[in-house]
Amino acid sequence: MDTFAALALATDPATRSSLDRKPDRLTAPLINVDMVKMIICQALYQTIVCFVLYWAGLRILGLDETIASRAELSTLIFNCFVFCQIFNQINCRRLDRKYNVFEGFFRNYYFMVIFAIMCGGQAIIVEVGGAAFQVVGLNGRDWGISIVVGLISFPIGALVRTLPTEPFYRFLIRMKVYTDPALLPLTTDVDDVSVDEKNGGVEYNPALSKIKDNLNTFANIRGGRINASAIVSRSRTAKLRKADIQLPSILTMVPTLIAGTIAAGPNWAQPVFPREAFGNPAQDPSRSTAELFSGKVQMHPDTDPNDPLIKKYGIKRGE
């Protein structure tokens, strides 16, 4: 449910509707309000289903209290939970409030293959796993219940997207999960944080300072994508060795970076003072970032030709 789902979601290509998403703030939390809303509601649904089946499943299914019936019920609960997670990963393909979670699904063959592997693997575990997984084979009725319970994740996801986000946001601010954007930033002792003036004047939690510095050094040595060839790979390796940065050591920082970011919430990096210029620490920007960095402006390809900005600056489509 974790490794394969992450791999499947990572293979999803960008869609044209991604251009409609507003850019995130520099200090935006890793898990936004819509994601928190979806996590809480789906977790509540799955918890309720599992507890109802655990306490009243035998009565609902019309089974007697026997060892065999209890083993069948335990396998059914496990199967329902897994299929809730499997189908919910399709919900997670969208991070906005739009309802079409299948957009581009049938163009992503990797996702479909991984999805089939997950479903097939679960079927093999249940029907063949036996004592190794402490499960028993299920009949057609139980498989139907498992799949229907998993499919209900879709209407739950649509309902969650319909719910307004603002009340959840205010609640999370009240619970100190997010900082209140209306509050003025507080000054922090320089001894407690490191200030990176090259990156727009940002205060970093000291636990993440070393990771940030090593990743910046690695990115500067690595260079742009155009230099990613076998001809220059040896020279980059020598530079990394000279800078005392080994790839395994960078990989071991990933769990620390993720755990530190989640634990610190939105407070792991916060602006000290505003900067008008765009920072470019990785030296490997996307096209839009590069053009913004050089003072150019990109317009959405579907922008109305009568838009005031187009008239004011004389911008043509594609510029």
Give the mean pLDDT per block of 10 residues along the chain (319 residues). Answer: 80 78 78 88 95 93 91 94 93 84 85 92 92 90 95 93 88 83 58 46 58 64 46 53 56 58 51 46 53 63 75 63
Residue 77 carries which side chain, given as an amino acid letter?
I
Using DSSP's 3-state secondary structure scheme, residue 202 falls into: strand
Domain 3-174 fold is Calcium-transporting ATPase, transmembrane domain (1.20.1110)
Q: Tell me the domain boundaries of the chain.
A: 3-174, 194-278, 285-319
Q: Which long-range contacts (CB under 8 A, 24 or more apart) does 69-77 make?
A: 71/135, 71/136, 72/136, 72/138, 72/142, 74/134, 74/135, 75/126, 75/135, 75/136, 75/138, 75/142, 76/138, 76/142, 76/145, 76/146, 77/50, 77/53
The neighbour count for residue 221, using CB atoms within 10 Å, is: 17
CB crowding 100-117: b at 16 or more within 10 Å, else e: ebeeeeeebeebeebbee
Per-residue pLDDT tens digits for 62-119: 988 999 999 999 999 999 999 999 999 998 888 778 888 888 888 888 889 999 999 9
Which of 270, 265, 274 has the alpha carbon at shortest distance from 204? Answer: 270
Cβ burial, residue 208 (10 Å; 0-12/13-18/19+): buried
**Cβ-contact 249, 257 below 8 angstroms:** no
The per-residue pLDDT for 294 is 63
Which residue from 235, 243, 251 is spatially nearest to 217, judged by alpha carbons? 243
The SS3 call for residue 131 is: helix
